[in-house]
Amino acid sequence: MKQKTIAPGYLFPKGYTNYVFMLLFLLYMFDYIDRMVVTSMFVSIEKDLGITHTQSGLLVSAVYWAIVLLTFPISILIDRWNRTKTIGIMAVLWSLATVLCALTGNFLQLVLTRAMIGVGEAGYAPGGSAMISGLYPQEKRSKMMGLWNASIPLGTAIGVLLGGIIATRLGWKHAFGIVAIPGMIVAILFFFVKDYKTVDLSFVDSQNVKTKMKKRDIVREFLSKPSLIFTYFGFAAVVFVTTSMITWLSTYFHVTRDMSMEKAGTMASAVMVLAIIGAPVGGIITDRWRKKNIKARLIFPALTSMLAALFLMVALWFTKGTVQYIFFLLMGVTITAFISGAAAVTQDVIHAGLRAMSYAIAVVVQNLLGASTAPLVIGKLYDLYSIETAMSILPIVLAVAAILFFTGSRYYTKDLEKVVKIELQPA
Protein backbone atom coordinates (compact mmCIF):
# COMPACT_ATOMS: atom_id res chain seq x y z
CA MET A 1 0.00 0.00 0.00
CA LYS A 2 1.38 3.42 -0.96
CA GLN A 3 2.44 5.53 2.01
CA LYS A 4 1.05 9.05 2.12
CA THR A 5 3.59 11.84 1.62
CA ILE A 6 4.13 14.11 4.61
CA ALA A 7 4.88 17.72 3.67
CA PRO A 8 7.90 19.51 5.21
CA GLY A 9 7.12 20.91 8.67
CA TYR A 10 4.18 18.53 9.24
CA LEU A 11 4.08 15.43 11.46
CA PHE A 12 1.15 13.78 9.65
CA PRO A 13 -0.46 14.01 6.19
CA LYS A 14 -2.20 17.35 5.66
CA GLY A 15 -5.65 15.75 5.40
CA TYR A 16 -5.33 14.08 8.80
CA THR A 17 -3.75 17.19 10.32
CA ASN A 18 -6.71 19.29 9.16
CA TYR A 19 -9.15 16.69 10.54
CA VAL A 20 -7.52 16.98 13.97
CA PHE A 21 -7.63 20.77 13.66
CA MET A 22 -11.36 20.65 12.87
CA LEU A 23 -12.03 18.60 16.02
CA LEU A 24 -9.97 21.08 18.03
CA PHE A 25 -11.97 23.95 16.49
CA LEU A 26 -15.33 22.32 17.29
CA LEU A 27 -14.31 21.55 20.86
CA TYR A 28 -13.25 25.16 21.46
CA MET A 29 -16.53 26.37 19.96
CA PHE A 30 -18.60 24.10 22.25
CA ASP A 31 -16.35 25.11 25.15
CA TYR A 32 -17.51 28.73 24.72
CA ILE A 33 -21.11 27.84 23.95
CA ASP A 34 -21.33 26.00 27.26
CA ARG A 35 -19.38 28.73 29.04
CA MET A 36 -21.34 31.75 27.77
CA VAL A 37 -24.89 30.50 27.20
CA VAL A 38 -25.74 31.84 30.67
CA THR A 39 -25.08 35.50 29.82
CA SER A 40 -28.22 36.12 27.73
CA MET A 41 -30.32 34.39 30.40
CA PHE A 42 -29.38 36.75 33.26
CA VAL A 43 -32.76 38.49 33.34
CA SER A 44 -34.65 35.18 33.45
CA ILE A 45 -32.33 33.71 36.12
CA GLU A 46 -32.46 36.89 38.23
CA LYS A 47 -36.27 36.81 38.24
CA ASP A 48 -36.43 33.08 38.96
CA LEU A 49 -33.76 32.93 41.69
CA GLY A 50 -34.04 36.49 43.03
CA ILE A 51 -30.35 37.41 42.60
CA THR A 52 -28.48 40.68 41.96
CA HIS A 53 -26.50 41.78 38.91
CA THR A 54 -23.27 41.10 40.85
CA GLN A 55 -24.43 37.55 41.53
CA SER A 56 -25.19 37.12 37.83
CA GLY A 57 -21.60 38.13 37.12
CA LEU A 58 -20.48 35.46 39.59
CA LEU A 59 -22.07 32.79 37.37
CA VAL A 60 -19.46 33.65 34.75
CA SER A 61 -16.60 34.34 37.16
CA ALA A 62 -17.04 30.93 38.84
CA VAL A 63 -16.02 29.23 35.59
CA TYR A 64 -12.86 31.30 35.32
CA TRP A 65 -11.85 30.85 38.96
CA ALA A 66 -11.95 27.09 38.49
CA ILE A 67 -9.85 27.47 35.34
CA VAL A 68 -7.31 29.62 37.21
CA LEU A 69 -6.96 27.02 39.99
CA LEU A 70 -6.55 24.00 37.73
CA THR A 71 -5.07 25.15 34.42
CA PHE A 72 -1.45 25.03 35.59
CA PRO A 73 -1.41 21.53 37.13
CA ILE A 74 -3.42 20.13 34.21
CA SER A 75 -1.01 21.73 31.71
CA ILE A 76 1.86 19.84 33.36
CA LEU A 77 -0.14 16.63 32.88
CA ILE A 78 -0.71 17.55 29.23
CA ASP A 79 2.96 18.28 28.52
CA ARG A 80 4.26 15.23 30.35
CA TRP A 81 1.49 12.61 29.75
CA ASN A 82 -0.94 12.71 26.82
CA ARG A 83 -2.59 15.68 25.11
CA THR A 84 -5.40 13.80 23.34
CA LYS A 85 -6.60 11.79 26.33
CA THR A 86 -6.43 14.78 28.66
CA ILE A 87 -8.39 16.95 26.22
CA GLY A 88 -11.02 14.23 25.71
CA ILE A 89 -11.52 13.76 29.45
CA MET A 90 -11.78 17.52 30.00
CA ALA A 91 -14.39 17.94 27.25
CA VAL A 92 -16.56 15.10 28.59
CA LEU A 93 -16.40 16.64 32.07
CA TRP A 94 -17.41 20.17 31.04
CA SER A 95 -20.28 18.79 28.91
CA LEU A 96 -21.63 16.77 31.86
CA ALA A 97 -21.32 19.82 34.14
CA THR A 98 -23.35 21.88 31.66
CA VAL A 99 -26.11 19.29 31.80
CA LEU A 100 -26.07 19.44 35.61
CA CYS A 101 -26.75 23.21 35.45
CA ALA A 102 -30.20 22.32 34.10
CA LEU A 103 -30.92 20.27 37.24
CA THR A 104 -30.09 22.95 39.83
CA GLY A 105 -32.69 24.34 42.20
CA ASN A 106 -31.02 27.39 43.76
CA PHE A 107 -28.23 29.95 43.23
CA LEU A 108 -25.55 28.08 45.21
CA GLN A 109 -26.10 24.90 43.22
CA LEU A 110 -25.92 26.84 39.97
CA VAL A 111 -22.65 28.54 40.99
CA LEU A 112 -21.11 25.18 41.92
CA THR A 113 -22.11 23.49 38.67
CA ARG A 114 -20.82 26.50 36.70
CA ALA A 115 -17.51 26.08 38.53
CA MET A 116 -17.51 22.41 37.47
CA ILE A 117 -17.66 23.60 33.85
CA GLY A 118 -14.44 25.52 34.55
CA VAL A 119 -12.87 22.38 36.03
CA GLY A 120 -13.48 20.63 32.71
CA GLU A 121 -12.34 23.55 30.56
CA ALA A 122 -9.14 24.21 32.54
CA GLY A 123 -6.84 22.11 30.36
CA TYR A 124 -8.31 22.69 26.93
CA ALA A 125 -6.66 25.94 25.79
CA PRO A 126 -3.12 24.88 26.84
CA GLY A 127 -3.52 21.40 25.33
CA GLY A 128 -5.06 22.66 22.10
CA SER A 129 -2.45 25.37 21.58
CA ALA A 130 0.39 22.89 22.15
CA MET A 131 -1.14 20.45 19.65
CA ILE A 132 -1.60 23.08 16.95
CA SER A 133 1.95 24.37 17.49
CA GLY A 134 3.25 20.84 16.94
CA LEU A 135 0.99 19.84 14.05
CA TYR A 136 1.75 22.81 11.76
CA PRO A 137 4.99 24.50 10.59
CA GLN A 138 6.12 27.53 12.60
CA GLU A 139 5.60 29.89 9.66
CA LYS A 140 1.87 29.01 9.70
CA ARG A 141 1.50 29.23 13.49
CA SER A 142 -0.22 32.63 13.69
CA LYS A 143 -2.60 31.72 10.88
CA MET A 144 -3.66 28.41 12.48
CA MET A 145 -3.87 29.98 15.94
CA GLY A 146 -6.07 32.68 14.46
CA LEU A 147 -8.35 30.17 12.74
CA TRP A 148 -8.57 28.09 15.93
CA ASN A 149 -9.35 31.09 18.11
CA ALA A 150 -12.09 32.18 15.70
CA SER A 151 -14.09 29.44 17.40
CA ILE A 152 -14.24 31.61 20.55
CA PRO A 153 -16.42 34.43 19.14
CA LEU A 154 -18.40 31.89 17.10
CA GLY A 155 -19.13 29.76 20.18
CA THR A 156 -19.83 32.86 22.24
CA ALA A 157 -22.28 34.25 19.67
CA ILE A 158 -24.06 30.90 19.35
CA GLY A 159 -24.25 30.55 23.12
CA VAL A 160 -25.62 34.07 23.64
CA LEU A 161 -28.10 33.66 20.79
CA LEU A 162 -29.34 30.21 21.84
CA GLY A 163 -29.52 31.21 25.50
CA GLY A 164 -31.82 34.15 24.79
CA ILE A 165 -34.07 32.21 22.41
CA ILE A 166 -34.38 29.03 24.48
CA ALA A 167 -34.81 30.90 27.79
CA THR A 168 -37.64 33.00 26.31
CA ARG A 169 -39.48 30.04 24.78
CA LEU A 170 -38.67 27.02 26.96
CA GLY A 171 -37.07 28.37 30.13
CA TRP A 172 -33.43 28.94 31.03
CA LYS A 173 -32.79 25.42 32.39
CA HIS A 174 -33.54 23.82 29.01
CA ALA A 175 -30.76 25.87 27.38
CA PHE A 176 -28.05 24.19 29.44
CA GLY A 177 -29.22 20.68 28.54
CA ILE A 178 -29.58 21.38 24.83
CA VAL A 179 -26.15 22.97 24.24
CA ALA A 180 -24.19 20.24 26.09
CA ILE A 181 -24.94 17.29 23.77
CA PRO A 182 -22.88 18.16 20.62
CA GLY A 183 -19.72 18.83 22.62
CA MET A 184 -19.97 15.41 24.24
CA ILE A 185 -20.00 13.73 20.80
CA VAL A 186 -16.87 15.56 19.59
CA ALA A 187 -15.13 14.85 22.91
CA ILE A 188 -15.54 11.10 22.38
CA LEU A 189 -14.07 11.34 18.85
CA PHE A 190 -10.99 13.06 20.24
CA PHE A 191 -9.91 10.01 22.24
CA PHE A 192 -8.88 8.38 18.92
CA VAL A 193 -6.70 11.24 17.62
CA LYS A 194 -2.91 10.90 17.02
CA ASP A 195 -0.42 13.34 18.51
CA TYR A 196 3.32 14.04 18.69
CA LYS A 197 5.64 12.35 21.18
CA THR A 198 6.14 13.96 24.58
CA VAL A 199 9.22 16.22 24.38
CA ASP A 200 12.12 15.52 26.72
CA LEU A 201 12.80 18.47 29.02
CA SER A 202 16.47 19.04 28.32
CA PHE A 203 18.84 21.68 26.94
CA VAL A 204 22.41 21.90 25.67
CA ASP A 205 24.65 23.74 28.14
CA SER A 206 27.65 25.99 27.43
CA GLN A 207 29.93 22.93 27.11
CA ASN A 208 27.65 21.39 24.45
CA VAL A 209 26.39 18.72 26.88
CA LYS A 210 22.74 17.67 26.88
CA THR A 211 21.35 18.33 30.37
CA LYS A 212 17.97 17.52 31.88
CA MET A 213 16.07 20.63 32.98
CA LYS A 214 15.56 21.11 36.70
CA LYS A 215 12.80 23.14 38.34
CA ARG A 216 14.99 26.23 38.51
CA ASP A 217 15.79 25.87 34.78
CA ILE A 218 12.06 25.72 33.98
CA VAL A 219 11.38 28.83 36.08
CA ARG A 220 14.30 30.62 34.41
CA GLU A 221 12.94 29.61 30.98
CA PHE A 222 9.86 31.75 31.65
CA LEU A 223 11.29 34.61 33.71
CA SER A 224 14.12 35.26 31.23
CA LYS A 225 11.67 36.11 28.40
CA PRO A 226 10.32 39.70 28.80
CA SER A 227 8.32 39.45 25.55
CA LEU A 228 6.46 36.48 27.03
CA ILE A 229 5.65 38.29 30.28
CA PHE A 230 4.36 41.40 28.51
CA THR A 231 2.29 39.16 26.22
CA TYR A 232 0.67 37.44 29.21
CA PHE A 233 -0.44 40.76 30.70
CA GLY A 234 -1.51 42.14 27.32
CA PHE A 235 -3.71 39.06 26.97
CA ALA A 236 -5.26 39.78 30.38
CA ALA A 237 -6.17 43.36 29.50
CA VAL A 238 -7.89 42.42 26.23
CA VAL A 239 -9.66 39.46 27.86
CA PHE A 240 -10.98 41.78 30.60
CA VAL A 241 -12.70 43.76 27.85
CA THR A 242 -13.91 40.83 25.76
CA THR A 243 -15.34 39.05 28.81
CA SER A 244 -17.07 42.25 29.91
CA MET A 245 -18.61 42.60 26.45
CA ILE A 246 -19.62 38.95 26.29
CA THR A 247 -21.17 39.06 29.76
CA TRP A 248 -22.88 42.43 29.79
CA LEU A 249 -23.40 43.70 26.21
CA SER A 250 -26.83 42.04 25.83
CA THR A 251 -27.88 43.59 29.18
CA TYR A 252 -26.47 46.95 28.01
CA PHE A 253 -28.67 46.85 24.90
CA HIS A 254 -31.66 45.65 26.95
CA VAL A 255 -31.35 48.58 29.39
CA THR A 256 -30.23 51.44 27.13
CA ARG A 257 -32.53 50.59 24.22
CA ASP A 258 -35.50 49.24 26.18
CA MET A 259 -35.74 46.05 24.12
CA SER A 260 -36.45 42.41 24.93
CA MET A 261 -33.59 40.18 26.09
CA GLU A 262 -34.10 37.98 23.02
CA LYS A 263 -33.52 40.92 20.67
CA ALA A 264 -30.73 42.32 22.84
CA GLY A 265 -29.04 38.92 22.85
CA THR A 266 -29.30 38.77 19.05
CA MET A 267 -27.69 42.22 18.70
CA ALA A 268 -24.91 41.32 21.14
CA SER A 269 -24.23 38.00 19.43
CA ALA A 270 -23.87 39.80 16.07
CA VAL A 271 -21.11 41.96 17.56
CA MET A 272 -19.38 38.89 18.98
CA VAL A 273 -19.70 36.78 15.84
CA LEU A 274 -17.93 39.49 13.80
CA ALA A 275 -14.88 38.73 15.91
CA ILE A 276 -14.66 35.53 13.86
CA ILE A 277 -13.21 37.75 11.11
CA GLY A 278 -10.52 39.37 13.23
CA ALA A 279 -8.80 36.26 14.59
CA PRO A 280 -8.07 34.39 11.31
CA VAL A 281 -7.49 37.51 9.21
CA GLY A 282 -5.18 38.81 11.92
CA GLY A 283 -3.26 35.53 11.78
CA ILE A 284 -2.85 35.64 8.02
CA ILE A 285 -1.67 39.27 8.07
CA THR A 286 0.69 38.61 10.99
CA ASP A 287 2.38 35.61 9.33
CA ARG A 288 2.85 37.53 6.06
CA TRP A 289 4.14 40.64 7.83
CA ARG A 290 6.51 38.49 9.92
CA LYS A 291 8.44 37.61 6.74
CA LYS A 292 9.50 41.27 6.61
CA ASN A 293 9.37 42.15 10.31
CA ILE A 294 10.13 39.41 12.83
CA LYS A 295 8.35 41.42 15.57
CA ALA A 296 5.01 41.39 13.74
CA ARG A 297 3.44 38.88 16.14
CA LEU A 298 3.46 41.57 18.85
CA ILE A 299 3.36 44.82 16.85
CA PHE A 300 0.17 43.77 15.07
CA PRO A 301 -1.69 43.02 18.38
CA ALA A 302 -0.56 46.45 19.64
CA LEU A 303 -2.01 48.19 16.58
CA THR A 304 -5.31 46.28 16.50
CA SER A 305 -5.88 46.62 20.26
CA MET A 306 -5.46 50.39 20.00
CA LEU A 307 -7.81 50.49 17.01
CA ALA A 308 -10.41 48.47 18.91
CA ALA A 309 -10.02 50.88 21.85
CA LEU A 310 -10.82 53.84 19.60
CA PHE A 311 -13.89 52.13 18.09
CA LEU A 312 -15.19 51.18 21.53
CA MET A 313 -14.53 54.66 22.88
CA VAL A 314 -16.63 56.21 20.11
CA ALA A 315 -19.41 53.65 20.67
CA LEU A 316 -19.62 54.04 24.45
CA TRP A 317 -18.69 57.67 24.96
CA PHE A 318 -19.88 59.67 21.95
CA THR A 319 -22.65 57.98 19.94
CA LYS A 320 -26.12 56.45 20.19
CA GLY A 321 -28.49 54.47 17.99
CA THR A 322 -27.43 53.12 14.60
CA VAL A 323 -24.08 54.95 14.53
CA GLN A 324 -23.20 53.52 17.93
CA TYR A 325 -24.01 49.99 16.78
CA ILE A 326 -21.81 50.40 13.68
CA PHE A 327 -18.85 51.24 15.93
CA PHE A 328 -19.67 48.24 18.14
CA LEU A 329 -19.52 46.07 15.02
CA LEU A 330 -16.15 47.58 14.00
CA MET A 331 -14.87 46.88 17.50
CA GLY A 332 -16.13 43.31 17.16
CA VAL A 333 -14.03 42.82 14.01
CA THR A 334 -10.81 44.22 15.49
CA ILE A 335 -10.83 43.17 19.15
CA THR A 336 -9.79 39.54 18.54
CA ALA A 337 -7.22 40.30 15.84
CA PHE A 338 -4.55 40.33 18.56
CA ILE A 339 -4.97 36.71 19.56
CA SER A 340 -3.31 34.96 16.62
CA GLY A 341 0.03 36.71 17.04
CA ALA A 342 -0.04 36.84 20.84
CA ALA A 343 -0.94 33.16 21.17
CA ALA A 344 1.86 32.24 18.74
CA VAL A 345 4.35 34.19 20.87
CA THR A 346 3.51 32.01 23.90
CA GLN A 347 4.69 29.04 21.81
CA ASP A 348 7.52 30.71 19.85
CA VAL A 349 9.81 31.79 22.67
CA ILE A 350 9.54 28.76 24.97
CA HIS A 351 11.03 25.24 25.07
CA ALA A 352 8.91 22.82 22.98
CA GLY A 353 8.34 20.62 26.04
CA LEU A 354 6.79 23.54 27.94
CA ARG A 355 4.31 24.84 25.39
CA ALA A 356 1.14 23.75 27.19
CA MET A 357 2.56 25.17 30.42
CA SER A 358 3.33 28.45 28.67
CA TYR A 359 -0.22 28.83 27.41
CA ALA A 360 -1.47 27.71 30.83
CA ILE A 361 0.33 30.65 32.41
CA ALA A 362 -1.31 32.90 29.82
CA VAL A 363 -4.68 31.39 30.76
CA VAL A 364 -4.06 31.85 34.49
CA VAL A 365 -2.99 35.48 34.10
CA GLN A 366 -5.77 36.41 31.66
CA ASN A 367 -8.44 34.65 33.70
CA LEU A 368 -7.25 35.86 37.10
CA LEU A 369 -6.82 39.49 36.05
CA GLY A 370 -9.28 39.56 33.15
CA ALA A 371 -12.02 37.00 32.70
CA SER A 372 -12.79 36.20 36.35
CA THR A 373 -12.73 39.81 37.54
CA ALA A 374 -14.44 41.52 34.60
CA PRO A 375 -18.01 40.22 35.17
CA LEU A 376 -17.84 41.16 38.87
CA VAL A 377 -16.23 44.57 38.35
CA ILE A 378 -18.74 45.58 35.68
CA GLY A 379 -21.62 44.03 37.68
CA LYS A 380 -20.58 45.96 40.82
CA LEU A 381 -20.24 49.24 38.93
CA TYR A 382 -23.66 48.55 37.40
CA ASP A 383 -25.16 48.04 40.88
CA LEU A 384 -23.49 51.22 42.20
CA TYR A 385 -23.99 53.51 39.21
CA SER A 386 -25.36 52.38 35.83
CA ILE A 387 -24.57 49.96 33.02
CA GLU A 388 -23.36 52.90 30.90
CA THR A 389 -20.88 54.01 33.56
CA ALA A 390 -19.68 50.46 34.11
CA MET A 391 -18.96 49.83 30.44
CA SER A 392 -17.25 53.21 29.89
CA ILE A 393 -13.97 52.04 31.49
CA LEU A 394 -13.34 49.39 28.82
CA PRO A 395 -11.64 51.52 26.09
CA ILE A 396 -8.97 52.55 28.62
CA VAL A 397 -8.20 48.93 29.44
CA LEU A 398 -7.79 48.14 25.73
CA ALA A 399 -5.32 51.02 25.35
CA VAL A 400 -3.26 49.53 28.20
CA ALA A 401 -3.20 46.21 26.33
CA ALA A 402 -1.82 47.92 23.22
CA ILE A 403 1.02 49.47 25.25
CA LEU A 404 1.89 46.09 26.81
CA PHE A 405 2.07 44.31 23.43
CA PHE A 406 4.23 47.06 21.91
CA THR A 407 6.63 46.96 24.87
CA GLY A 408 6.88 43.16 24.52
CA SER A 409 7.77 43.47 20.83
CA ARG A 410 11.03 45.23 21.75
CA TYR A 411 12.30 42.03 23.41
CA TYR A 412 10.85 39.40 21.05
CA THR A 413 13.84 38.91 18.71
CA LYS A 414 16.35 38.35 21.53
CA ASP A 415 13.94 35.99 23.33
CA LEU A 416 13.46 33.97 20.15
CA GLU A 417 17.23 33.47 19.83
CA LYS A 418 17.35 31.89 23.31
CA VAL A 419 14.96 29.03 22.44
CA VAL A 420 16.34 25.47 22.17
CA LYS A 421 15.62 24.07 18.67
CA ILE A 422 13.89 20.67 18.91
CA GLU A 423 12.43 18.58 16.08
CA LEU A 424 9.13 16.96 17.07
CA GLN A 425 8.34 13.32 16.30
CA PRO A 426 4.89 11.74 15.71
CA ALA A 427 3.67 9.38 18.42
Q: Which of 396, 150, 187 is nearest to 275 (CA)?
A: 150
Task: Return the half-sphere exposure (C-beta side, CA atoms, 13 A cut-off) of residue 147.
Answer: 15
Tens digits of per-residue pLDDT, 372-400? 789 889 989 999 999 999 999 999 999 99
Q: Which of 71, 47, 45 is nearest to 57 (CA)?
A: 45
Q: How many DSSP H helices and E strands does the chain contain?
A: 21, 2
- 359 in Cβ contact with 126 (< 8 Å): yes
Tens digits of per-residue pLDDT, 66-103? 888 888 787 777 776 777 888 888 888 888 988 898 88
- Phi then psi for 36, rounded to 5 degrees? -110, 0
Tens digits of per-residue pLDDT, 234-287? 999 999 999 899 888 988 999 999 888 778 878 887 887 787 888 889 989 998
Please give the angle made by the CA atoms of 260, 264 and 270, to the nearest 5 degrees: 150
Lowest mean pLDDT among 139-148, 158-167, 308-317: 158-167
Amino acid at 127: G
- Phi then psi for 263, rounded to 5 degrees? -70, -40
pLDDT of res. 207? 55
CATH (domain of 31): 1.20.1250.20
> Distance (Å, rounded) from C-alpha 152 to C-alpha 391?
21
Q: Is residue 380 part of a domain?
A: yes
Tens digits of per-residue pLDDT, 328-373? 999 999 998 998 899 889 988 988 778 778 888 888 898 889 887 8
Radius of gyration of the chain (CA): 21
Residue 279, domain extent: 14-191+211-416
Q: Which of 201, 238, 205 is nearest to 338 (CA)?
A: 238
> Distance (Å, rounded) from C-alpha 24 to C-alpha 284?
19
- 10 in Cβ contact with 136 (< 8 Å): yes
Average pLDDT of the segment spanning 401-413: 97
Residue 47: how many other CB atoms lie within 10 Å: 10
What is the tally of structural domains in the chain?
1
- 72 in Cβ contact with 360 (< 8 Å): yes
Q: Is residue 5 part of a domain?
A: no
pLDDT of res. 198? 63
Q: Is residue 95 part of a domain?
A: yes
- What's CA 132's distance to the chain center, in Å? 14
pLDDT of res. 397? 97
Average confidence score pLDDT of the chain: 85
- 245 in Cβ contact with 153 (< 8 Å): no
Q: Is residue 107 part of a domain?
A: yes
Q: Is residue 424 part of a domain?
A: no
Q: Which of 159, 71, 65, 193 is nearest to 123 (CA)?
A: 71
Q: Is residue 293 part of a domain?
A: yes
pLDDT at 420 exceeding the cut of 80: no
> Distance (Å, rounded) from C-alpha 424 to C-alpha 157?
36
